[in-house]
A and B are shown apart, each in its own frame.
Chain A
């Protein structure tokens, strides 16, 4: 399989295709299908490396993935073009929806329906922590760290930035690899 190097405009349209295909979720599966299988810009290994980097660094995963794909071919300008392709249309649609919301949300029937949707969305938010709890279940230090961070934020109402700036370096020191990593 030969990889084809996309131009900036191909990047834009490719990412737009990913964004449109992923209506209703499954964004990373679609971007794999389109970027690796259909358009053959990358090998599967390259794509998976991208996912690793995207999950590791700050920022939304799917957005970071677009940045990775763009940067791989055209550096910073590629990253920005890929981002624009992935975001511009869905974001503009959402802003239309948002303007409609601010116009109409005081109508009682709209507010009633939203109250229901909000209850479901709160359940989704609640599930996020439980979703990754399993992988830390056997690590007491990790659970302790998580509990301290949780209490600092929820019970003592501390802000996120100072909490991360204090807990982050401590956790990194604890998890610093003891044996030398193979180069």
Chain B
């Protein structure tokens, strides 16, 4: 699939029973869990593929909005998965939306949590193992490549006008060069959006 542009057009909203949607949500996030390298943000582009291109739970715009919401809200930003679950179940009403939201978050966290518990209990043996060294050093560059791909994907998903793109680049530079809380960037950009300077 050369899907970057064609993805939205190719997508047919899934007609599923309530339970079917729920199980599908659970399975997709369960299987991604162990691939959340480098703190979890490496999965963002996969979330987009699932929610927008593959299952049509969300539009491109909604995905971008939910990502921003998860970044702005207090707590770990990995809670985005819950918002995606919410969007997946929304057509079936708030009850199913919430059920699929809590289910999605539990599914994305369960496998990595089990692995983490195992790792904690056997850390004494793992710490000096060559596997650990190779894993740490080998997966680092891969994480680097993924994060650049994710950044580009989110930028494409945001799909704002030129002023918006300029703000994105500026925020990126400020994130790297200063220690200003990103909440300020989102607040200022929100005002610029309200005034119509940034639009999409």
Contacts and interface: CB of A to CB of B under 8 A. Distances in A.
Interface of A: 19, 22-25, 27, 49-50, 53-64, 67-68, 71-72, 75-76, 79-80, 83, 86-87, 90-91, 93-95, 97-99, 101-102, 105, 109, 112-133, 135-136, 139, 141-143, 145-150, 153-154, 157, 159-161, 163-164, 167-168, 171-177, 181-183
A136 B140 CA distance: 9
Interface string B106-136: 0001001111110111010000111011111
A164 B142 contact: yes
A121 B78 CA distance: 14
Contacts of B145: 145-150, 153
Contact of B176 (A53, A127, A173): A127
Q: Which of B32, B67, B146, B190 has the most CB of A within 10 A?
A: B146
A56 B183 contact: no
Contacts of B141: 136, 139, 141-143, 145-146, 149, 171
The majority secondary structure among interface residues of chain A is helix
A120 B165 CA distance: 9
Contacts of A133: 144
Interface in B121-176: 121, 123, 128-130, 132-155, 157-158, 160, 164-165, 167-176
Contact of A175 (B41, B79, B137, B188): B137
Q: Which of A91, A93, A120 has the most CB of B within 10 A?
A: A120
Instruction: Give the interface size bracket for B toward A.
Output: 35 or more
Nearest to A179: B130
Q: Which of B77, B82, B144, B157 has the most CB of A within 10 A?
A: B144
A19 B151 contact: no
B172 A68 contact: no
Nearest to A63: B76
A71 B109 contact: no
Interface in B5-56: 31-46, 49
A15 B138 CA distance: 32
Nearest to B146: A149
B175 A123 contact: yes
Nearest to B131: A172
Given A53-B123, A58-B36, A102-B97, A94 B75 contact: yes
B135 to A, nearest CB: 6
B105 A91 contact: yes
A97 B71 CA distance: 13
The majority secondary structure among interface residues of chain B is helix
Given A120-B171, A126-B155, 13 more contacts: A59-B112, A59-B115, A63-B40, A63-B78, A67-B116, A67-B117, A98-B82, A122-B171, A126-B151, A145-B141, A145-B142, A149-B144, A173-B138
A16 B2 CA distance: 45
Contacts of A19: 74-75
| 6 A-B pairs with least C-beta separation | A116-B193, A123-B171, A149-B145, A90-B75, A59-B112, A171-B138
A153 B146 contact: yes
A161 B94 CA distance: 32
Contacts of B101: 95, 98
Given A59-B33, A146-B148, A87 B76 contact: yes
A115 B200 contact: yes
Contact of A62 (B43, B76, B86): B76
21 contacts: A50-B120, A59-B112, A60-B36, A60-B40, A63-B109, A95-B101, A113-B191, A116-B167, A116-B189, A117-B65, A124-B71, A124-B171, A124-B172, A125-B41, A125-B67, A125-B150, A127-B172, A129-B151, A153-B149, A160-B45, A171-B141
